[in-house]
Amino acid sequence: DTGVSQDPRHKITKRGQNVTFRCDPISEHNRLYWYRQTLGQGPEFLTYFQNEAQLEKSRLLSDRFSAERPKGSFSTLEIQRTEQGDSAMYLCASSRTGWETQYFGPGTRLLVL
Amino acid sequence: AQSVTQLGSHVSVSEGALVLLRCNYSSSVPPYLFWYVQYPNQGLQLLLKYTTGATLVKGINGFEAEFKKSETSFHLTKPSAHMSDAAEYFCAVSEEGYGGSQGNLIFGKGTKLSVKP
């Protein structure tokens, strides 16, 4: 396994701009999760996919956030009209099935100026 | 709804001393419990997990944790701290997910472990 990868690792943007992050899960992992981690806090759940189906979304995932996993492999998380409160580390995790361990990527650190 | 409480946002120990990081959870269903470690500017790495069976769980790097249902606790221990153990540690419980599978993880706020030489 090459591990979960995320791109970019760092992103600085101005308030009001749109940003998109990519997550490549471990090969053949069906589940893919997105979390957000702010300074001094534990990760908070945003959404998860089973293959290409988005099964659950947190209330944290406002209308400005959208996630996709079109072919059941990589996933993208887009934030529209970014706000300073969106500044955080965005973590992606994958698991082989819904009953197995979640493996985390290195995260994308977003700073909104 | 499930929740996790980690007592102590910072713990400092001397090298060679016992490490004890506390975690209490609340869950309406039999929980799946996890400890993850995070080094600066990195993602989370699984240390150990409890699903069913033996309540004393051994993980990587000499860590272990004991599930105590009566105390709703899952404390993490290591007999002898090493400098390389300095990191942030997160306890997590799994929500029940789609079709009875594991859902998302609910994390505590984390405990930062410092190790003094």
Q: What is the pLDDT of residues A8-43, one digit of tens each?
A: 999 999 999 999 999 999 998 999 999 999 988 999
Residue B73 to residue B21: CA distance in whole angstroms:
11
pLDDT of residue B100: 65
pLDDT of residue B41: 77
Q: Does A45 sit within 8 Å of B106, measured CB to CB?
A: yes
pLDDT of residue A89: 95
Report the length, in residues, of chain B: 117
Give the bridge partners for B92, in sequence order: B34, B107
Radius of gyration for chain B, computed over Cα atoms and rounded to the nearest angstrom: 14
Q: B60 by DSSP, 3-state: which?
A: helix
Q: Which of A40, A43, A48 sits opposite B107 (nearest CB)?
A: A43
Q: Does B104 sit within 8 Å of A58, measured CB to CB?
A: yes
- On the question of pLDDT at A1 being above 70, the answer is no
Distance of CA A15 to the CA centre of its chain: 19
pLDDT of residue A2: 77
Using CA atoms of B86, A2, A57, A79 in order, give the dihedral in degrees to the nearest 10: 90
Q: What is the DSSP string of B1-29?
A: --EEEEE-SEEEEETTS-EEEEEEEE-SS
Q: Which residue of B has its CA nearest to A48?
A: B104
- Chain A residues with CB under 8 Å of B95 CB are 45
Q: Does A55 sit within 8 Å of B105, measured CB to CB?
A: no
Q: Does A104 sit within 8 Å of B43, measured CB to CB?
A: yes
Q: Does A40 sit within 8 Å of B109, measured CB to CB?
A: yes
A67 touches chain B (CB under 8 A): no
Q: Does A103 sit within 8 Å of B104, measured CB to CB?
A: no
Residue in B70, B54, B59, B68 with CA at minimum distance from that of residue B22: B68
Distance from CA of B101 to the nearest CA of A (A): 5
Residue B41 to residue A106: CA distance in whole angstroms:
8
Report the length, in residues, of chain A: 113
Q: Does A33 sit within 8 Å of B43, measured CB to CB?
A: no
Q: Which residue of A has its CA nearest to B89?
A: A42
**Which residues fall within 8 angstroms of residue B62, CB to CB, at 6 or more apart?**
B78, B79, B80
- Chain B residues with CB under 8 Å of A109 CB are 41
Kindly state the average pLDDT of the residues A77-106. Answer: 93
Per-residue pLDDT of chain B (117 residues; tens, 9 = 90+): 778 999 999 999 999 999 999 999 988 777 889 999 999 878 899 999 998 888 899 999 999 999 998 999 999 999 999 999 999 999 999 877 666 667 789 999 999 999 999
Tell me the residues of chain A between 79 and 108 that have a Cβ less than 8 Å away from chain B. Answer: 91, 93, 95, 97-107
More confident residue, B102 or A90: A90
Count other C-beta atoms under 10 Å from residue B62's C-beta: 15
Give the bridge partners for B10, in sequence order: B112
